Structure 1
């Protein structure tokens, strides 16, 4: 059992973009609530890169060694490997903090969630976002009033994004990758968390290039009682990544722009950012540090704010239905 005064021993499986971001989130804190117990990646080059950049981080010989050294295992490997590592960690009595999606097979994901109960959580950083906190406060204060509609729009100059080039083999494959799984899932989680269960889905996705992931999606559904329209496309913007999550009501509108910036609509129809809004490059590390606080609480069996396994499964069900791989009309 983790002692309340002890830093949590966090093991990291996967030394790609997300693994390194989480590693930095731990190491950048002077009095971090967690310590890196061990890190492993199956690629020797990735381990060598981490070893050179972070010489104090213990590198493990394999995934089993990470599990053995840890209180909680953070799984940041490609999606097809998630459940194998997660099940091994749970079998050893560890908790699990996993990247999304839980699995590439919905039946396997459902079975895992039923097995795992409350011993795991999924890394949807909107659960810890300062921008989302601002939206939540505005909505509670009546800035929107009774919600009438939610619009989610995502756009990319190309997919995968340039900084994801090293992972393009799976990020641009229809089985594991695509922007709906990687990006839209975050906004589905946000909709679920703030407005309620996702249901009554109709959707279509375009796969114009054989062997590659989707290039456009359109969907309509409800989050709680609120109608939602979702649009996503590759090639509609010069930006690597542009997104908005906009909720409108009889009293006004608020939105989250480009992952992190909370904005309120002025009377003239333009949007004004919160005074303390910051771009995602600055906001992301803060959200990840707050995620780690939740990981500690989750591992100790205390109430936490992280995305639960059940929430993540609901998001995955909707994602796969949008892509035409899961049951429609939830």
Structure 2
């Protein structure tokens, strides 16, 4: 069977897939609107519309334009980035449990930020961004290095990632125990949150996230073949080393962007790709965009729930996402053990 035959295996028609993608985009738009509409302060739908079409400088309009709109857009972008990262990692390692929070990427980025705050006292979200990129890149490079010793394999990458995740998390906790000031400065960021993020921060990480998303979508065809196995990919003429390098770059760009702006959110990259795979099959040309849309929906909805369930207090979005992702992770582990 040639490459064209392999990519044609899913029975979903292109028309249905396109219709589903537009439907998901519509749901995401409604979720963003709900995020702008609901929160600790009561804001009516008319106020939301007036803030854009008849801005008068009132308190409600300021809340909408300077706080809620950037927050909703950041949640959607972070969710999309994490969803695509999870899909890429699952395709690369051929492991349904792979995601940046489980394989050490988020933990590496978090450790880089915490260590810098511990040593230098930096406490600005704008400073966190480059640090998170460096931490994510180093973590993924070490995972790949350890997973490639004696020949790369999905199982080796998974074990290496899990071990490094435990190591980085332990080091992060040690630094926080040693410095109460460091803990006070970034504890809300460490829980995973999009609260208090402004438009400037969104514009800062937007180029990196868009570059990562674009690269990931371009690689969809190659990831589909690579997910079938190294031997199959080589037999079909794919330069697997180059593909893995490009996928690694996309992972670093997306994971670094997400962690920089929202902290280490776990399980978002696990849930969205599985939902996408259930809807579209095995073709990563569709799994990746669906993962982006579903990841955005998941994170925006989780943020809304976290704001309204204990109003006027709010739960970090990382906590509400974990309430959905943790049971799915347990189910997948049990399924892997049975199979």
Question: TM-score if structure 2 supplies the norm length?
Answer: 0.27
Which has the larger strand fraction? 1
| Bigger relative contact order, structure 1 or 2 (CA pairs below 8 A, ≥6 apart) | 2
Question: TM-score if structure 1 supplies the norm length?
Answer: 0.28
